[in-house]
Amino acid sequence: MAGVREITISGIKKRLLSRYGEYINMDNVGGSEESKEIVKVSRAIAALAVNIFNPELSEVVCSESVCDGSDDRCIDAVYVNHDKKQVTIVQSKFDQSGNGSISRQDMADYLTSCRDVLMEEYNLFNDRFNRFSESLEVAYDNSYKYFFVFAYSGRDELSEDVKRQIEQRKKEFNFDLDGDYIEIQTLSLSKIKDYLSRRSLGNININDVEIFQYGVTEEPLKAVHGLITGDQVASWWEDYGDLLLEDNIRGGLGEVSDVNQGIKKTLIDNPEMFYYFNNGVTILVNTITPKMRNGKTRRENGGFDLVNVNVINGAQTISTIGKAYLSGEVTMDQLAEVKLPCRFIKVEDYGSQDGGGLDVALSITIANNSQNKVTARDFISKDPFQIELKRSFSFEEPYVYEIKRSEQDSNKSPGVNVITIEDALSSLVCNLNSPRYMALLKSNRGRFFESITSPVYKAVFNPSVHCVMLINTVNFFRSANEALNYMEKNRKTKRDEKIVIHGKYIFISLVMNKYRSLIERNAVVPVDDIPDLKPYINETFKKIKAHIDEHYATSHMPRFFENQSKVKEVMVL
């Protein structure tokens, strides 16, 4: 008689093959039908792991992420999510007994390959892996979060040796990073079962949703709008988790994103203002059924039953509230006082019967995630200092200072005599020669524009900056950047190339410091009078490279140059 675990394994195998089996590429697999099936299930586990960390993806996309093969070096699936700024790297094992666990050697081999990925040693991997090398390079250069996942159909328990390996490698990978941007996680049989069982629920139906101060639109699509409370959102997240976000374009972005951190801060520190600070959520449903108790004319509040709930906008709000509740940072009682705007739009039966409803749903989803974003940087154009600085450029023709984003020219590169607010920020920060501000420029340049009264903004844009000084600073920045672009193309290794790319602000700052007297002249320095900066930059590169090779051989270069203490080290060599 089969045991419980064997029955579980059999059921999971069927579910995995039904979801991903037809999309898994098996061209490089030989042997008996039985052995082929084992390989297919193992690859389906890899596809599932990608799906768990990217729930908005289809089974086809997850299956296409599989790169398993005889020369895969323990990497069975890769997916780079540019919307979430997240990389998922998977090793998968199918244990038919369901009783096994991860051996010390298996984990060691996998984590060694993870290190090779972080070192951008893509040439060590097979052709299937290298389909993703360009996307991985973008992810590396833009400091995406990495999830290294070992998925296996075995017991939850890990040996102390394996736990120790994971902790040691996690510390090593995050050594010079501010926060855990590199995660190492395991997915056991029970976790796989839990995810598949939740997915088997099908549509998400939520009954008795209480909507306050609601209104109803009947045509052309029925919709209900109003306010919902945070405790309701938290209960949805507790029941369904990120399955709520499957149709959301960006998913939840991740807890470390500026958006989610801002939402959490308001939720905890300023809950009564949440309604005013938050854009709310938009949810598509197949049906909206009002409760019998709802008033006919008075609409202070009403209950509604919703069928097939899909959050298409507001994923960050939903996920942040849910995670804050589950982590114990806020209680249900506190969340009951939090109100946020909501819209529930019915899409079933709209349009023709040959897919019109789906087309409308897709159009609504895209439109709700495509509006031009108004950023803090847009408000800088209202700063009296910036306005006056722009006016002063009228005496330094042909130079022009642009402090607004121009919709007309948004797809064009500015001319050589045009200085944008972004040009000004980069150049002036480098000219400050401050490790703190250069690390911030690399890690979160948006912080400079959060408020025109903040210390970081005032440190850069203040009365010491005049149009001549700004022009000279920008021209030196551009000349140094041109020299660095030349250097980048002539480096011997990819790691040396990354030092040039991600250490750009340090190299430019050091060269500006050397030629400070030229930059601070009272007249604009003609571009042709700027000396050849390549020799000094090359000399500086050799010093910084030697220091990194000796002390930080495994460091992640994008994050290295975002770390204030590391920047300070290399600036005084």
Domain boundary among 166, 198, 230: 198
At residue 408, does pLDDT exceed 50? no
pLDDT of res. 489? 87
Let me know whether 168 and 246 are in one domain: no
Whether 519 contacts 476, CB under 8 Å: yes
Collect contacts of 264-271 with beta carbons under 8 A, ≥24 apart. 264/320, 264/324, 264/329, 267/230, 267/320, 267/321, 267/324, 267/330, 267/338, 268/324, 268/329, 268/330, 271/230, 271/334, 271/337, 271/338
pLDDT in tens, 286-296: 889 988 776 66
Domain count, the chain: 3
Whether 316 contacts 253, CB under 8 Å: yes
Token digits of residue 460: 């850069």
pLDDT of res. 409? 46
Whether 79 contacts 57, CB under 8 Å: yes
pLDDT in tens, 28-87: 888 888 888 999 999 999 999 999 888 778 899 999 999 988 777 899 999 999 888 899
Residue 137 maps to which CATH number?
A: 3.40.91
Separation CA 528–CA 416 (nearest Å)? 13
Domain boundary among 147, 177, 198: 198
Let me know whether 415 and 511 are in one domain: yes
Adjacent-strand bridge partners of 433: none
Strands 182-187 and 206-217: unpaired
pLDDT in tens, 480-532: 999 999 999 888 888 899 999 999 999 999 999 999 999 999 999 999 999 99
Let me know whether 163 and 214 are in one domain: no
The stretch 299-315 carries a mean pLDDT of: 85
Report the mean per-residue pLDDT for the chain.
86
Let me know whether 32 and 154 are in one domain: yes
pLDDT of res. 421? 92
Q: Higher confidence at residue 297 or residue 121?
A: 121
Token digits of residue 293: 């108790």
Separation CA 268–CA 196 (nearest Å)? 33
**φ and ψ at 315, to 5 degrees?**
-60, -40
- Percentage, residues of the chain above pLDDT 70: 88
Summarize the chain as % helix, strand, coil (round to 5).
Answer: 50, 15, 35
Let me know whether 357 and 424 are in one domain: no
The stretch 253-257 carries a mean pLDDT of: 50
Separation CA 341–CA 395 (nearest Å)? 49
DSSP conformation letters of 42-81: HHHHHHHHHHHH-TTS-HHHHHHTB--STT-TT--EEEEE
Separation CA 560–CA 79 (nearest Å)? 24
Token digits of residue 405: 């984003």
Let me know whether 193 and 305 are in one domain: no
Let me know whether 489 and 386 are in one domain: yes
pLDDT of res. 370? 59
Say what the pTM is.
0.67
Let me know whether 402 and 543 are in one domain: yes
Strands 223-229 and 206-217: antiparallel
Let me know whether 110 and 229 are in one domain: no
- The H or E element spanning position 211 is strand 206-217
Domain boundary among 368, 386, 411: 368
At residue 219, does pLDDT exceed 90? no
Let me know whether 251 and 223 are in one domain: yes
pLDDT in tens, 153-192: 988 889 999 999 999 999 888 876 666 688 999 999 988 8
Let me know whether 142 and 87 are in one domain: yes
Token digits of residue 526: 């003609």
Amino acid present at 444:
N
Whether 66 contacts 24, CB under 8 Å: yes
Separation CA 415–CA 60 (nearest Å)? 44
Parent domain of 315: 206-368
Let me know whether 149 and 294 are in one domain: no
pLDDT of res. 485? 93
